[in-house]
Amino acid sequence: MTQALKIDFIADVVCPWCYIGLRRLEKALAQRPDVQAEIVWRPYQLDPTIPEEGVDRAAYMARKFSDPERRAEMAKVLAGEAAQDGLDLKLADIPVSPNTNAAHRLIRWAQAQGLQQPVLEAVLKAYFTDLRDIGDPVVLADIAEAAGMDRLDVLQKLSEGVDKDQVAHDHGMAIEAGVTGVPFTIFAGKFAVVGAQSPERLLKAIDKAMETAA
């Protein structure tokens, strides 16, 4: 007998730890085939001040982390952690740091059409592996169309700013709720896990949430 479990995953699409955390969450859930989990992506923006056209990522990271040795070490650690989870993160080669509002909006529209998973995976892969600018409406429209969404509809909504304020509002709500780092995972609206924890740690949270529900 399957049991339903709602999981709110607060994250940003340019956050490498969020990508890793999502994959680890999926690994944990794979060990509980009796749990029918609904993972809901909740928007968070690591830097909502980035202009809509994005900025050069190398220069942006140099401003954010002025020590080049520290930047290199961080990238090495991240790449190693990601590889263990089957992810290919080309962090040093990413050309643009985008404003992620538009990507979050696309994921929101995909959720409404039951297409969150393929769109979310495509957005993450586009940024971290394919080195595409996920702040570019054309890139997002390509992703949407490949997942079965209406390309022209997506382009029109992006150009008109549909749900732009809603994403900003959701980000603000996360901040008000005390979320200062992502990923931030909430199980059944009751138990929170901060960071890209191991599948074993996430499994404990899943079991705890299911026991409480029962």
Residue 32: which CATH number? 3.40.30.10
**10-residue averages of pLDDT along the chain (214 residues):** 93 98 98 97 98 97 92 90 94 96 98 98 98 98 98 98 98 96 97 97 96 85
d(CA 196, CA 202): 9
CB 45, CB 101: distance < 8 Å: yes
Q: What is the mean pLDDT of the chain?
A: 96
- Kindly state whether residue 50 falls inside one of the protein's structural domains: no
What 3-state class would DSSP assign to 194?
A: strand
For residue 85, the Cα-to-chain-centroid distance in whole angstroms is: 16
CB 109, CB 116: distance < 8 Å: no
- Kindly state whether residue 49 falls inside one of the protein's structural domains: no
Full domain range(s) for residue 118: 100-178
Work out how many domains the chain is built from and give that number: 3
HSE-CB at 14 with a 13 A cutoff on CA atoms is 24
- Kindly state whether residue 66 falls inside one of the protein's structural domains: yes
- Kindly state whether residue 91 falls inside one of the protein's structural domains: yes
Assess whether 73 and 31 both reside in one domain: no
Assess whether 138 and 153 both reside in one domain: yes
- Kindly state whether residue 144 falls inside one of the protein's structural domains: yes
For the chain, the first-to-last Cα distance in angstroms comes to 13
Assess whether 124 and 174 both reside in one domain: yes
What 3-state class would DSSP assign to 42?
A: strand
Assess whether 147 and 203 both reside in one domain: no
Task: Tell me what pLDDT residue 213 has.
Answer: 82
Assess whether 173 and 191 both reside in one domain: no
- 149's tokens: 């969404």
Q: Amino acid identity, residue 159?
A: S
Entry pTM: 0.96
- Kindly state whether residue 16 falls inside one of the protein's structural domains: yes
Q: What b-and-e string marks burial along 75-92, b requiring 16 or more CB atoms within 10 Å of the CB? A: beebbebbeebebebebe
- Kindly state whether residue 135 falls inside one of the protein's structural domains: yes
